Structure 1
Amino acid sequence: MIPTKKITTRNSKPADGFCEWLAQGRDTLRKGDRTRIDLLIAGSSFLSHNPLERLTVSAICKVAGVAHGTFYLYFKDRNDLVGAVLGAFVDYVQLQMRAAARCAGDTTRNTTEAYMLVFEAHPALMKSLVAAGDAFPEARAAFQRLNHEWIEAVVSSAMRSDKGAPRSRPDLMRRAYALGGMVDQYLTALFVTDDPWVRDLSQDRSEVVDMLTDLWKRGMAQ
């Protein structure tokens, strides 16, 4: 269980990085808990520079500086570690977006900007979430949880602010899933696959945030 930690506010970089967020409070923990945190940080660091398929127990132990057998005191296998790392990353992303939602100004724009900042700061980890295949069901499940929990929040907000003929909850859920997929596809092209045409169109980050915000608002309009 990763304790809740201090997070960032609007227009700032995400908590000095996910690894630093994981490490907060580490020195106050017992040795066993510190070792588990070290393995999570090693996994996060590895996935920040390598695809999921290259992750091995040996590689993680080398990065963490622990014996191979020590790994199995904390995780069943590499998939178990991946699930724990990406599950914690999902918590981190959600905390960033919730903090943005509490800031003054346009909530939709604030949260969209926060999500884009996390995507830009952690493209490899986001790729691990978005593009997780059948070989890593834990990663896929982590991304599905991120999607579902955030979409539930978006739809609940939309229903509270109803200003006209209300749409049904299933309709709003479908719209939110479709819109979220569009946003992920655009940000993946921009930050992960480095599509040259998308990059050329995205020089002004503020304009990108405005565009994505407009898509959310129009798509969820009652």
Structure 2
Amino acid sequence: MEPDAHVRHRYPWCMSVEKTDGTVQHRPSMSGGAPARERALRKQGRDTMRRLLDAGRTAFSEMSYHQVRVADVVKIAKTSHGTFYLYFSNKEDLFKALARDAMHDVEELAERFPMVLPSPAGHAALRSWIQEYGDLYATHSAVIRLLTQPDTVGEDLWTDGIDILGKLSKAMTTAMADAGRDAHSAELTALSCLMMIERMNFVQSLRHLITLERDEVTDKLTDITFAAFLSTPMR
């Protein structure tokens, strides 16, 4: 199965990955780095690439960006330097692949923002979305944190991250406007709510510093955001 049009447009080398349940998921990272994109990969190559990507995600989670070395990644992946360089040019190349996944997932999440009606069903739909945001953030927390640091990841990746954040904000703003809210107030309210949700997930990702009960945090974020939707002035 080929990636759909918008994925191919944004990530022209995006590959499809078959999951254990038989469904197919588009993972931009599975294109690998520059060396891997020069050849077609067989199943063994894709499995090796997946191990390297998982190892990279672990390394960037446990160490700072500047501390991570290729040696750390190959040790976690239980492979060799030579194998690493068959798929990625360097650690920056690996990080860019991981960033493509994170941004792809956030973009898809933005497209799934629900219509938040002033009803128990609206509250439940919003809670489900906020919970999904938390799951996504937990998966990509190290990458997302680094994307906020232009001096570390570079201006291009940082700009891409800001663009994705803008899509999340726009999705929330559109949902408020569709519910009949004033456009300007909806935009400001949506951005404020989004920043609160992002920061709370950031705090939750720092488990070595602070531990919060996941469901309780999700409930509180939902209650505050739902109240903000209801209190935003109508047109």
Q: Same fold (TM over 0.5)?
A: yes
User: Residue 195 of structure 1: CA displacement?
Assistant: 6.6
Runs of 5+ in structure 2 lacking a partner?
A: 1-13, 20-28, 31-40
The aligned counterpart of 2:168 is: 150
- Aligned match for 1:181, one of 171, 195, 203: 195
* CA distance 1:66–1:212, shift in 2 (3 Å): farther
Aligned partners of 1:36 and 1:74 also within 8 Å: yes
Find out whether 1:209 has 2:227 as its counterpart: no
Aligned partners of 1:123 and 1:191 also within 8 Å: yes
> Taking CA–CA contacts closer than 8 Å with sequence separation of 6 or more, which of the two structures ends up with the larger relative contact order?
1
The aligned counterpart of 2:97 is: 84
Find out whether 1:134 has 2:146 as its counterpart: no
- Aligned match for 2:178, one of 143, 152, 160: 160
Aligned partners of 2:173 and 2:190 also within 8 Å: yes
Cα distance between partner residues in 2 of 1:124 and 1:215: 30
User: Residue 219 of structure 1: CA displacement?
Assistant: 7.3
List aligned pairs for 1:53-92, cutoff 5 A: 53-92=66-105
List aligned pairs for 1:24-103, cutoff 5 A: 29-95=42-108, 101=114
- For the residue of structure 1 that corresponds to 2:105, the secondary structure is helix
Aligned partners of 1:93 and 1:118 also within 8 Å: yes
Runs of 5+ in structure 1 lacking a partner?
A: 7-21
User: Residue 141 of structure 1: CA displacement?
Assistant: 4.2
* CA distance 1:97–1:40, shift in 2 (3 Å): same
Matched to 1:167, the amino acid is A
* CA distance 1:193–1:108, shift in 2 (3 Å): same
How much is the aligned-residue C-alpha RMSD, in angstroms? 3.9
User: Residue 82 of structure 1: CA displacement?
Assistant: 0.9
Cα distance between partner residues in 2 of 1:76 and 1:5: 26
Identity over aligned residues, as a percent? 17
- Aligned match for 2:131, one of 113, 131, 140: 113
- For the residue of structure 2 that corresponds to 1:3, the secondary structure is strand
Work out the number of aligned pairs and report it: 195
User: Residue 39 of structure 1: CA displacement?
Assistant: 1.9
The one-character-per-residue Cα deviations of 1:119-171 (angstroms, maximum 9, x if unpaired) are 45665454344x434121265345324312222322233333325xx425xx6
The one-character-per-residue Cα deviations of 1:7-52 (angstroms, maximum 9, x if unpaired) are xxxxxxxxxxxxxxx89xxxx9533333333321221122233332
Which structure: larger Rg? 2
Cα distance between partner residues in 2 of 1:184 and 1:215: 18
User: Residue 206 of structure 1: CA displacement?
Assistant: 5.0
